[in-house]
Amino acid sequence: MEDGQAMSLLTILPLAIVMIAGPQLLSAIFLATSENWRRNSASFVVGATLSITLIVTVAYFFGSSVTGGESSHMGLQIIVLLLLFFAMVSVYLGREKAEPPKWMGKLQSANSRSSFKIGFLLLGVFPTDILTSAAVGSYLSANGLPLRDSIGFVSCTVLLLALPSIAVLALGKRAEAFLPKVRDWMNTNSWIVNEAVILLFILLTLNNLLG
């Protein structure tokens, strides 16, 4: 991989944090402590992987279809900026949601089918996630990078979603005391981390647009 491609790939990896910081990781924590946690967590991750991959792929090929010259290339970069801006607004508006949604309480009695559905919808329909995935696909297309470069972003996001179940597998009962603390910290501080990551990506995109 060329140096420029490697740098462009590294710039999109931090957006994986934006993808999971919120109801996504909270759902993974609830499922990791559910009765059938192995099956539920695996189904959740599979559903999330499919939806993320689908949105990134659609955004990538949409970008490829409109890129044909310098003006269209600039237009696609502007689309990326708009997606990131709306993602930033979405994160900011949701910053004061200190308590998880009531439906999350039902996750501890979820089955593999509902876990798959939740993973697919949360990572594919949740406003911040769909905007972030679309921004990644558009960014790769706008910079002439292959779709396979999105594998790192998708894999990193999936790994972060799997961390609660990995913790339970590795730590057992100790994870049950640790995971609620992670959940509480995410409720309070995740929006700040998200805004910082999105802002960094906006600056990098502006640099590509103006450079």
147 by Cβ neighbours in 10 Å (0-12 / 13-18 / 19+) ranks as: middle
Residue-wise pLDDT for 38-56, tens only, equals 999 999 999 999 999 999 9
Q: Would you list the DSSP string of 97-128?
A: --S--GGGGGGGG--HHHHHHHHHHHHHHSHH
Q: What is the mean pLDDT of residues 95-105?
A: 61
Name the residue ranges covered by the structural domains of the chain.
3-210
Is the pLDDT at 57 greater than 50? The verdict is yes
Q: Give the pLDDT confidence score for residue 65 in this predicted structure.
A: 73
Residue-wise pLDDT for 168-181, tens only, equals 888 877 777 777 77
% of the chain exceeding 90 in pLDDT: 24
Torsion-angle region of residue 202: left (phi > 0), alpha (psi -120 to 50) or beta? Answer: alpha
**Mean pLDDT across the chain:** 80
Three-class secondary structure of residue 145 per DSSP: coil
Is the pLDDT at 7 greater than 50? The verdict is no
Is the pLDDT at 12 greater than 90? The verdict is no
Q: What is the mean pLDDT of residues 154-178?
A: 86
Q: Whole-angstrom Cα distance, residue 191 to residue 160?
A: 16
Q: Whole-angstrom Cα distance, residue 89 to residue 106?
A: 29
User: Which position has the higher pLDDT, 47 or 127?
Assistant: 47
Centroid of chain to Cα 125: 11
What's this model's pTM, rounded to 2 decimal places? 0.78
Q: What is the mean pLDDT of residues 95-119?
A: 75
Q: Give the pLDDT confidence score for residue 3 in this predicted structure.
A: 47
Among the residue ranges 83-97, 117-131, 163-177, the one predicted with the least confidence is: 83-97
